[in-house]
Amino acid sequence: MRQIDRQFWKGRRVFVTGHMGFKGAWLCSLLARLGAETFGFGKDERERLLYRELKLARHSGRVGDINDVNALRAALAGFETDVLFHLAAQPIVLTSYADPVGTFETNVVGTVRVLDAARAAVGLRAIVVITSDKVYQNDETSRAYHEQDALGGADPYSASKAAAEIATRAMAHSFFSESDAARIATARAGNVIGGGDWAEFRLLPDAARAIGCGQPLICRNPKSVRPWQHVLDPLAGYVMLAEDLACAKASSDAWNFGPAPDDILTVGDVANLFVEAWGREAKWMAELNQNGAHHEAKLLTIDSGCAQRELGWQPRWRSAEAVQRTAAWYRDHAAGTSAMSLVERDISEFLDVRSPR
């Protein structure tokens, strides 16, 4: 199994949109451990954010909207960027029903604006645009989706991410085709989990909040299947992809990063693992009334064979271990251990892994 090239990242200047979000904070932490310098651009007005609890090394950031073209261009121009990771997004399916226009504006138009601003970035070598496993036209069969399958979306979030894929491809072919231009690819990950995610309408943050208050976790769809994975697994894939893009090795413009084909868990399975790992009086129950609920896919899996063959990437932690580690993170954090210590612990153990467990 390929390892991250730490020498490549030492001193590398990396621009991260959406740095204040859950995945963005973990990515900046991972890059700091690898010796990179990061500059974050984005905004997140939620009261509780993992990012605010971290003391990131070699990091600076600016609060800004990716749809603010002038601010975005100025930030990119001022940082002399080598690699750009675009994570800024409206990431919640249920929120997209409440604000479909804002979801499309951020996820589609915002992506185009980031790529347009990147056209003027001198020395930029690689751009990784993070979308979602939900970009596929999901017929909810048992077949895992691969990168050449049709894009689509039955809800505003999924459709916006599929549209962002199409827009990224168009921008890449139209404005980044010269030999010295930055190379661009999209990355589609599964349901990422890990400590420090406090977003609403997500299973494990909901579990941590409920159990921390002595209440049972209420699960909307306990029989639904999702590609669960610890956040560090797809982030490692994004980092390896950026390495290959910068060195003109990557052979595709879209990549899946998901758990192994035999590593399938339902929402109920994940809830069981979480409450067992938390211990004490933790418990969960199914939501009784689903009447009027918005559509959410019941089955979704993705095929990561291309990333395994071409990048040498593999998921390192099985889904069950990812859930158990996440439960331990929230439990230890509730008991007083700092978020920074817990993130550093997980990154250290992840980077020390030599083969999948």
Q: Which residue has the higher pLDDT, 17 or 287?
A: 17
Q: Work out whether strand 217-219 and strand 284-286 pair parallel, antiparallel, or are unpaired.
A: parallel
- Could you tell me if 255 and 148 are in contact, meaning their C-beta atoms sit under 8 angstroms apart? no
pLDDT above 70 as % of the chain: 96
- Could you tell me if 221 and 268 are in contact, meaning their C-beta atoms sit under 8 angstroms apart? no
Q: How many CB atoms lie within 10 A of CB 221?
A: 18
- Could you tell me if 204 and 228 are in contact, meaning their C-beta atoms sit under 8 angstroms apart? no
**Average pLDDT of the segment spanning 331-335:** 94
- Could you tell me if 53 and 339 are in contact, meaning their C-beta atoms sit under 8 angstroms apart? yes
* Predicted TM-score of the model (pTM): 0.94
Q: Does domain 8-352 have CATH number 1.10.10.1800?
A: no
**Average pLDDT of the segment spanning 341-348:** 98
* Neighbour-count burial for 98-120, b at 16+ CB within 10 Å, e otherwise: eebeebbbbbbbbbbbbbebbee
Q: How confident is the model at residue 139 (pLDDT cuts 50, 70, 90)?
A: confident
Element (H, E) at 235: helix 232-246
* Residue 173 CB contacts under 8 Å (≥ 6 apart), including other chains: none
Which residue, among 64, 26, 14, 29, has the nearest Cα to 44 in the 3D structure? 64
**Average pLDDT of the segment spanning 82-88:** 98
- Would you tell me the crossing angle of helices 232-246 and 22-33 to the nearest 10 degrees? 60
- Could you tell me if 250 and 126 are in contact, meaning their C-beta atoms sit under 8 angstroms apart? no
Length of the chain: 357
How many angstroms separate the CA atoms of 210 and 274, rounded?
Answer: 12
How many angstroms separate the CA atoms of 199 and 133, rounded?
Answer: 18
Q: How confident is the model at residue 357 (pLDDT cuts 50, 70, 90)?
A: very low
Residue 289 has pLDDT above 70, yes or no: no
Instruction: Write down the pLDDT at residue 165.
Output: 98
Q: How confident is the model at residue 295 (pLDDT cuts 50, 70, 90)?
A: low
3 state DSSP class of 189: strand
Q: What is the distance, to the nearest Å, from the Cα of residue 176 to the centroid of all Cα atoms in its chain?
A: 24
**Average pLDDT of the segment spanning 238-259:** 95
Residue 133 has pLDDT above 70, yes or no: yes
How many angstroms separate the CA atoms of 210 and 334, rounded?
Answer: 12
